[in-house]
């Protein structure tokens, strides 16, 4: 179905961006470095031209470079979508040029480090063939040479493969068959997103886009996965609400989030938006947030990290505790989920473990012993013999 006309004009979250421009400038932060790290070069440059003209020369060269890159990425993406369409494989672009257009009506405001495409799991093999025929080469996970049963184990634990483009000026492609890493256990499938997808015209060519409710949920989940450690994730979510919120019933959005077990990530996105004063919360959302006071505190802590300017990368244990708390359920469930995440992080075998030792299918459980043994051998050379250290 066609993409509806939003109820609000496209804004670039001026209140939100202006706060950070002023803070980073006043705090002595190097503005160019910060906007690059937070991946908001084009957006901040747009605001600087309007509100802070003396800063414009600082950002102009980088902004032009990023905008040209974004235009090239848009063309590359549309060519890929056309190939999938011709092969009759439904495909849904995530983030990148399509999201930039969906939020700001401008493909050049959100250049990305890769192009994300979502397909149904049953179309995965055909999608690989399409990319290979175009000259793309899979570089992660490193499946080449692994037996079929080990390849299946690897693919069961990831949600995308990474493809190197044929030309050096092109952007790598991430081909997804799940919207999120399976460890998040969110009930959101590729088939559901594709089934609800809408269509728009991008640079004269048709392309699928996320339904507004799915867009808000996906951006909240994506930002939460990264602990909202870049200003880009927050500006995406705020702008999605500004532009598409008038078309979304807050009660329906919350109900969908509960069904998908994604309520806490959605509420955290709204708490961050409210704390920066970007938008007022609708009453159903504000009422639901009152049930989770720690989300307000977490939003405060995350914003303090953002204002510091550095892109924070938490340690493994901190990330596990954070992910467990973002899951639905009571304290007992959170504890169980945290233990499972610990096992997955420190005991679940990796591609390197599969390459180090080749066990037949019936001996797969032995890999849970191989993982800690290889880790010990890397930390303490000579332990457990000579294991391969392929990364």
pLDDT digits (tens, 9 = 90+) for 9-54: 344 466 788 888 888 887 656 888 899 999 999 999 999 999 999 9
122-148 pLDDT tens trace: 999 999 999 999 999 999 998 888 888
Residues in contact with 217: Cβ distance below 8 Å, sequence separation at least 6, in sequence order: 188, 253, 256, 257, 260, 262, 266
- In Å, how far are 64, 67, 70, 104, 347 from 61, measured between CA atoms? 5, 10, 14, 22, 47
Q: Is the pLDDT of residue 323 over 90?
A: no
- How far is residue 225's CA from residue 144's CA, in Å, rounded to a whole number? 29
pLDDT reported for residue 67 = 93
For the chain, the average pLDDT equals: 87
**pLDDT confidence band for 382 (50 / 70 / 90):** low
Q: Is the pLDDT of residue 390 over 70?
A: no
In angstroms and rounded to an integer, the radius of gyration of the C-alpha atoms of the chain is: 22
- How far is residue 143's CA from residue 155's CA, in Å, rounded to a whole number? 9
Quote the Cα angle for 257-262-264, to 5°. Answer: 105
pLDDT reported for residue 148 = 87
Question: How many C-beta neighbours within 10 Å does residue 321 have?
Answer: 16
- What percent of the chain is predicted at pLDDT more than 70? 91
**pLDDT confidence band for 332 (50 / 70 / 90):** low
Q: Is the pLDDT of residue 78 over 80?
A: yes
| Domain range annotation of the chain | 14-313
Grouping H, G, I as helix, E, B as strand and the rest as coil, residue 75 is: helix
The model scores a pTM over 0.85: yes
* Residue located via tokens 């093999």: 125
Residues in contact with 199: Cβ distance below 8 Å, sequence separation at least 6, in sequence order: 1, 2, 3, 206, 207, 208, 209
CATH of region 14-313, choose from 3.90.550.10, 3.30.460.40, 3.40.309.10, 3.40.50.2300 = 3.30.460.40
169-223 pLDDT tens trace: 999 999 999 999 988 889 999 999 999 999 999 999 999 999 999 999 999 999 9
pLDDT reported for residue 381 = 67
pLDDT reported for residue 149 = 86
Rounded to the nearest 10 degrees, the angle between the axes of helix 56-86 and helix 41-51 is 140
pLDDT reported for residue 341 = 79
**pLDDT confidence band for 324 (50 / 70 / 90):** confident
pLDDT reported for residue 11 = 47
Residues in contact with 219: Cβ distance below 8 Å, sequence separation at least 6, in sequence order: 233, 236, 237, 240, 269
pLDDT reported for residue 29 = 65
* Residue located via tokens 């997103």: 193
Q: Is the pLDDT of residue 337 over 50?
A: yes
pLDDT reported for residue 114 = 96
211-255 pLDDT tens trace: 999 999 999 999 999 999 999 999 999 999 999 999 999 999 999
């Amino acid at each position: 179905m066609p993409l509806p006309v939003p109820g609000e004009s496209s804004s670039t979250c001026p209140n939100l961006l202006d706060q950070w421009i002023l803070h980073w400038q006043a705090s002595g932060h190097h503005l160019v470095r910060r906007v690059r790290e937070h991946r908001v070069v084009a957006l901040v440059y747009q605001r600087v031209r309007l509100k802070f003209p003396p800063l414009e020369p600082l950002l102009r060269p980088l902004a032009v470079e990023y905008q040209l890159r974004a235009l090239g990425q848009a063309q590359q993406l549309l060519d890929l979508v056309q190939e999938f369409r011709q092969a009759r494989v439904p495909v849904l672009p995530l983030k990148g040029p399509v999201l930039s257009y969906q939020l700001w009506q401008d493909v050049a405001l959100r250049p990305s480090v890769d192009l994300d495409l979502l397909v149904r799991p049953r179309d995965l093999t055909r999608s690989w063939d399409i990319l290979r025929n175009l000259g793309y080469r899979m570089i992660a996970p490193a499946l080449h040479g692994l037996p079929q049963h080990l390849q299946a184990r690897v693919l069961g634990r990831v949600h995308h493969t990474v493809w190197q483009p044929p030309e050096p000026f092109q952007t790598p492609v991430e081909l997804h068959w799940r919207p999120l890493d399976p460890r998040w256990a969110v009930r959101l499938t590729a088939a559901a997103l594709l089934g609800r997808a809408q269509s728009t015209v991008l640079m004269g060519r048709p392309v699928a886009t996320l339904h507004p409710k799915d867009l808000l949920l996906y951006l909240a989940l994506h930002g939460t996965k990264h602990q909202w450690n870049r200003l880009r994730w927050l500006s995406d979510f705020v702008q999605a609400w500004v532009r598409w919120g008038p078309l979304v019933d807050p009660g329906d959005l919350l109900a969908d989030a509960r069904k998908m077990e994604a309520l806490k990530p959605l509420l955290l996105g709204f708490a961050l938006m409210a704390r920066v004063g970007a938008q007022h919360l609708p009453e159903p959302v504000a009422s639901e947030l009152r049930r989770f006071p720690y989300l307000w505190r977490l939003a405060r802590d995350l914003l303090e990290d953002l204002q510091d300017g550095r892109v924070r990368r938490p340690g493994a244990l901190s990330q596990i505790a954070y992910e467990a708390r973002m899951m639905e359920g009571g304290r007992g469930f959170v504890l169980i989920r945290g233990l499972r995440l610990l096992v997955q992080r420190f005991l679940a075998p990796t591609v390197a473990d599969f390459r180090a030792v080749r066990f037949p299918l019936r001996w797969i459980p032995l890999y849970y012993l191989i993982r800690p043994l290889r880790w010990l051998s890397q930390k303490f050379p000579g332990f457990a013999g000579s294991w391969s250290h392929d990364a």
